[in-house]
């Protein structure tokens, strides 16, 4: 986090009662928005056969940024056909070393166009430019760079097996990290020799459409990547299409289960990266100021629109009061507002629907008896905003302790012993991530062994890297993205 | 004077004990009366497996390997019983050798399937395979012993506990095998064996909220409904063959956990 706590100076300088705030906006004109974005099929931008378009709204201003095509059944069919054609007539026969070079090219172009992509991401999705600039876009480029290098080394990843591509991979991604999720999906799929039909999220298609232009610049063969924008119906057409060999979905557990049922009995490989309700566990010997930064990063990063967000704070009872005091003070310094302002910590809630869902769950927390804390905070007049929120006096049974809120809302619970921390941490149907804060190494490893979660961050939180496998236990889904393990979902291993 | 032999009663194997079905039912298979497990027996077996899971998974890999090797020793000692329950000596020897082979994997899995991840930052980052929890296994119909071993051994070597539905047509080998399990030092409940009708038991296991994965290798076709039920708690659905033997058979029953820690003074 860029902001640090204000320190008391030993020389009693007059503390200013009010800080003048000088906005530091990122230039928006680095992105040239088109009025309409068509579908990307067979290397061409095409009009939707449905003839339907829908508006993409900026969540921070509620203005319509552009219109985007609504892909219907025929459009999805065309995209799967183009992917099949590209798979059979070229891509699967291309030398792996040459496949690699296309991916390297894409990585480089993403780096070159990173400023434009970062602004586009913040404009379209509402996330702070600091995050899209420093996290989303560099990591997306890094994923392509990492998997590019795997393309011609697959036989070393799986000893005694012959890796073969699956064919056409259908991929459905969420709106929280639009370009990064696209990279997590497309990079390993192409590296393994598959072709792709990807459906960007309904509310965040912009960077995917810029990615279509990146593919053009990289001279990627037509049909290797196809992008079908639309809503849930578009996704359903893609899931039901009988021409797909693989489905990779990142999104809610609810939709993940629907997809699993839909694919039952079909010969389609499936990976699911679903919801979470991660526990961030702080022991009494933890470095408290670092832990506070980690807690804040854990739940307020990207407005809490993070499947692995540390949405349940478990604090050891003996440090409950000092930790909460620090945390509340830190919350009061978070700057909520214009996503394009480089000082912004918490941007806009991605959509009106999501804002309503957050409000509904927060209201349930108050109704069930939890105590709410929200710092004083000036919010812009237009746009979708939610003040960083913290609940204390939370029982494990409350909805805010069980359900994924996907917003900047933290539920605080306490524990006395490590055993109790484990029991509470594992007490949800999810198992995506967890955090542990303690200075004692052996305790970290003891906790790590017992936490039922696919990613455990110790004395840190929300770190991601292309070399590091990511994915869930239990109802958080199955399959891993990232690292050598992230290749397996896209290969047939004879 | 001829001696009348003491015959064996073929019962279920749940939580380290050999109970009859709570339903009191049996069915005839391979000219024997075999217990016909009910959904309540399946529930008891899941409960026993859940209780055994932390015990078995909490042992050192070395220890798990030794216990599985001991299982092979027990099978060798009972090879004549096992032979009578399957196609014969060849199948038994292959099954014993397969158990020995998997026993040797227990303390090598993490090295072959895990990784150290060179992240772009000051963090130590590693990935370790871990057991999933309770795994339901529909054993292949045939071969009676070989099919069972091929699915059960990779399911448990990494630390999972299993609830196995034995071959419906050849259940006797599974119960003979249970006797080897019972004398192998494998913690009670680590492997539970149900004999009975697959159509009756499989849907309960596929839909059970405390089962983490289901191996449908033995579901001859018609597994669509089971897969739909498995979606209820996002079960891992495993499919393989009755004769597979590789470390990847084990990895299908494992989760991967990635751990990050900062490096600094």
**DSSP per residue over A236-249, as a string?**
HHHHH-TT-SEEEE
In terms of DSSP bridges, do strands A371-373 and A477-478 run parallel, antiparallel, or are they unpaired?
A: unpaired
In terms of DSSP bridges, do strands B254-262 and B123-131 run parallel, antiparallel, or are they unpaired?
A: antiparallel
Q: What is the pLDDT of residue B1?
A: 81
Q: What would the mean pLDDT of B20-37 be, rounded to a whole number?
A: 96
Q: Are residues A292 and A171 in the same domain?
A: no
In terms of DSSP bridges, do strands A371-373 and A389-392 run parallel, antiparallel, or are they unpaired?
A: antiparallel
Q: Are residues A296 and A270 in the same domain?
A: no
Q: What is the pLDDT of residue B80?
A: 97
Selected for mutation to probe chain A from B260, B264, B265 (highest A CB count within 10 Å) is: B260
CA geometry: angle A103, A104, A107, nearest 5 deg: 90
Q: What is the pLDDT of residue A20?
A: 74
Q: Assess if residue B213 is contained within a domain.
A: yes
Structure tokens at A149: 């290098």
Selected for mutation to probe chain A from B115, B127, B248 (highest A CB count within 10 Å) is: B127
Decide if A273 is catalytic. yes
Beginning with the edge strand found earlier in the chain, give each strand of the sheet holding A53-57 in spatial order: A36-37, A64-69, A53-57
What is the tens place of the pLDDT at every residue in A293-339?
Answer: 999 999 999 999 999 999 999 999 999 999 999 999 999 999 999 99
Q: Are residues A242 and A293 in the same domain?
A: no
What is the tens place of the pLDDT at every residue in A427-453?
Answer: 999 999 999 999 999 999 999 999 999
Q: What is the pLDDT of residue A13?
A: 62
Q: What is the pLDDT of residue A159?
A: 86
Q: Assess if residue A9 is contained within a domain.
A: no
Cα dist. A98→A127, A167, A189 in Å?
36, 18, 15
* pLDDT greater than 50 at residue A369: yes
Q: What is the pLDDT of residue A14?
A: 63
What residues make up the domain containing A118? 28-274+473-493
Q: Which residues, numbered 439 to 478 in chain A, qualify as contacts with chain B under a Cβ-Cβ cut-off of 8 Å?
A: 444, 448, 453-460, 463, 465, 467-471, 473-478
* pLDDT greater than 60 at residue A6: no
Element (H, E) at B112: helix B109-113
Q: Are residues A146 and A294 in the same domain?
A: no
**Count of structural domains, chain A:** 2
* Least confident interval from A52-66, A220-234, A442-456, B214-228: B214-228
Judged by CB atoms closer than 8 Å, whether chains meet at A474 and B212 is answered as yes
> Which residues lie closer than 8 Å to B32 by C-beta, 6 or more apart?
B10, B172
Structure tokens at B97: 């050798």
Q: What is the pLDDT of residue A490?
A: 98
Decide if A63 is catalytic. no
**Which residues, in sequence order, are bridge partners of residue B136?**
B163, B214
Cα dist. A258→A241, B11, B30, B218 in Å?
15, 39, 41, 25
The average confidence (pLDDT) of chain B is 97
Q: Assess if residue B166 is contained within a domain.
A: yes
What is the tens place of the pLDDT at every residue in A211-249?
Answer: 999 999 999 999 999 999 999 999 999 999 999 999 999
- The residue from A131, A202, A273, A475 that is catalytic is A273
Q: Assess if residue A468 is contained within a domain.
A: no
* pLDDT greater than 50 at residue A1: no
Interchain CB contact of A247 with B (< 8 Å):
no
Judged by CB atoms closer than 8 Å, whether chains meet at A261 and B118 is answered as no
Judged by CB atoms closer than 8 Å, whether chains meet at B261 and A264 is answered as no
Q: What would the mean pLDDT of A263-269 be, rounded to a whole number?
A: 95
Judged by CB atoms closer than 8 Å, whether chains meet at A484 and B115 is answered as yes
Interchain CB contact of B263 with A (< 8 Å):
no
Structure tokens at A407: 């917003």
What is the tens place of the pLDDT at every residue in B45-62?
Answer: 999 999 999 999 999 999
User: What confidence tier does A21 reach under pLDDT thresholds 50, 70, 90?
Assistant: confident
Element (H, E) at A273: strand A269-273
User: What confidence tier does A84 reach under pLDDT thresholds 50, 70, 90?
Assistant: very high
Q: Are residues A251 and A296 in the same domain?
A: no
Q: Are residues A125 and A231 in the same domain?
A: yes
User: What confidence tier does A17 reach under pLDDT thresholds 50, 70, 90?
Assistant: low
User: What confidence tier does B241 reach under pLDDT thresholds 50, 70, 90?
Assistant: very high
What residues make up the domain containing B168? 26-262
CA geometry: angle A89, A90, A91, nearest 5 deg: 120
Note the ipTM here.
Answer: 0.95
Structure tokens at A241: 């299409």
Residues of A in contact with B233 (CB under 8 A): 429, 474-475
Q: Assess if residue A259 is contained within a domain.
A: yes
**Count of structural domains, chain B:** 1
Residue with tokens 């798990």: B64
Q: Which residue of B has its CA nearest to A477?
A: B234
Percent of chain A with pLDDT over 70: 96
Q: Which residue of B has its CA nearest to A455?
A: B258
Spatial distance between the Cα atoms of B189 and B59, rounded to a whole number of angstroms:
14
The average confidence (pLDDT) of chain A is 95
Structural contact between residues A121 and A206, judged by C-beta atoms closer than 8 angstroms: yes
Interchain CB contact of B239 with A (< 8 Å):
no
Residues of B in contact with A256 (CB under 8 A): 234
Q: Assess if residue A78 is contained within a domain.
A: yes
Q: What is the pLDDT of residue B70?
A: 98
CATH, residue B182: 3.40.605.10
* pLDDT greater than 80 at residue A7: no
Q: Assess if residue B132 is contained within a domain.
A: yes
Q: What is the pLDDT of residue A2?
A: 46
């Amino acid at each position: 986090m860029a902001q640090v706590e204000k320190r008391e100076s030993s020389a009693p300088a007059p503390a200013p009662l009010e800080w003048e705030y000088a906005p530091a906006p990122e230039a928006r004109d680095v992105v040239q928005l088109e009025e309409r974005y068509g579908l990307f099929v067979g290397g061409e931008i095409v009009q939707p056969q449905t003839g339907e378009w829908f508006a993409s709204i900026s969540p921070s201003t509620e203005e319509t940024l552009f219109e985007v095509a609504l892909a219907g059944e025929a459009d999805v069919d065309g995209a799967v056909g183009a992917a099949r054609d590209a798979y059979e007539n070229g891509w699967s026969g291309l030398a792996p070393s040459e496949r690699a070079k296309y991916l390297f090219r894409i990585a480089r172009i993403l780096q070159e166009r990173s400023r434009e992509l970062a602004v586009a991401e913040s404009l379209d999705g509402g996330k702070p430019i600091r995050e899209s600039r420093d996290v989303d876009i560099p990591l997306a480029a890094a994923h392509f760079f990492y998997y590019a290098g795997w393309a011609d080394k697959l036989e070393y990843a799986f000893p005694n097996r012959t890796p073969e591509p699956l064919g056409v991979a259908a991929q459905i991604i969420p709106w929280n990290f639009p370009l990064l999720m696209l990279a997590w999906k497309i990079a390993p799929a192409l590296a393994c020799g598959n072709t792709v039909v990807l459906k960007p999220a309904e509310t965040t298609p912009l960077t995917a459409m810029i990615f279509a232009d990146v593919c053009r610049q990289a001279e990627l063969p037509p049909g290797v990547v196809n992008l079908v924008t639309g809503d849930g119906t578009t996704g359903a057409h893609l899931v039901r299409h009988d021409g797909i060999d693989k489905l990779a979905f990142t999104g809610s557990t609810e939709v993940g289960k629907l997809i699993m049922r839909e694919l039952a009995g079909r010969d389609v490989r499936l990976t699911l990266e679903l919801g979470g309700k991660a526990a961030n566990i702080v022991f009494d010997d933890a470095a408290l100021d670092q832990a506070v930064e980690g807690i804040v990063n854990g739940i307020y990063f990207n407005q809490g629109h993070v499947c692995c967000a540390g949405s349940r704070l478990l604090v050891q009872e003996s440090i409950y009061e000092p930790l909460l005091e620090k945390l509340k003070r830190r919350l009061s310094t978070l700057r909520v507002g214009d996503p394009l302002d480089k000082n912004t910590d918490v941007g806009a809630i991605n959509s009106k629907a999501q804002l309503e869902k957050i409000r509904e769950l927060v209201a349930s927390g108050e109704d069930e008896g939890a105590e709410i804390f929200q710092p004083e905070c000036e919010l812009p007049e237009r746009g979708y905003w939610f003040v960083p929120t913290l609940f204390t006096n939370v029982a494990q049974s409350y909805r805010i302790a069980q359900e994924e809120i996907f917003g900047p809302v933290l539920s605080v619970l306490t524990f006395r012993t490590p055993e109790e921390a484990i029991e509470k941490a594992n007490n949800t149907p999810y198992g995506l991530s967890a955090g542990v804060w303690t200075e004692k190494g052996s305790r970290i490893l003891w906790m790590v062994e017992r936490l039922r979660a696919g990613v455990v961050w110790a004395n840190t939180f929300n770190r991601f890297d292309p070399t590091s496998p990511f994915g869930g236990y239990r109802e958080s889904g199955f399959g891993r993205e990232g690292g050598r393990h992230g290749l397996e979902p896209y290969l047939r291993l004879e | 004077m001829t001696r009348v032999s003491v015959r064996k009663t073929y019962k279920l194997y749940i939580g380290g004990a050999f109970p009859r079905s709570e339903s009191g039912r049996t069915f005839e298979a391979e000219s024997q009366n075999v217990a016909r497990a009910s959904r309540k027996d399946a529930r008891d077996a899941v409960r026993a497996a859940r209780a055994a899971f932390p015990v078995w998974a909490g042992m050192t890999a070395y220890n798990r390997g030794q216990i599985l090797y001991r299982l092979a020793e027990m099978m060798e000692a009972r090879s004549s019983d096992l032979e009578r329950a399957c196609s014969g000596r060849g199948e038994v020897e292959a099954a014993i050798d397969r158990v020995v082979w998997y026993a040797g994997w227990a303390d090598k899995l993490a090295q072959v399937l895990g990784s150290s991840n060179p992240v772009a930052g000051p963090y130590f980052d590693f990935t370790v395979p871990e057991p999933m929890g309770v795994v339901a296994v529909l054993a292949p119909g045939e071969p009676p012993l070989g099919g069972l071993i091929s699915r059960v051994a990779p399911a448990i070597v990494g630390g999972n506990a299993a609830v196995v539905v034995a071959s419906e047509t050849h259940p006797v080998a599974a119960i003979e095998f249970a006797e080897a399990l019972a004398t192998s030092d494998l913690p009670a409940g680590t492997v539970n064996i149900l004999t009975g009708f697959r159509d009756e038991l499989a849907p309960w296991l596929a839909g059970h909220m405390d089962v983490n994965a289901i191996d449908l290798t033995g579901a001859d076709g018609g597994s669509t409904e089971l897969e739909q039920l498995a979606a209820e708690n996002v079960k891992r659905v495993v499919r393989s063959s009755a004769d597979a033997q590789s470390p990847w058979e084990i990895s299908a029953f494992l989760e991967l956990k990635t751990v990050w820690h900062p490096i600094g003074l």
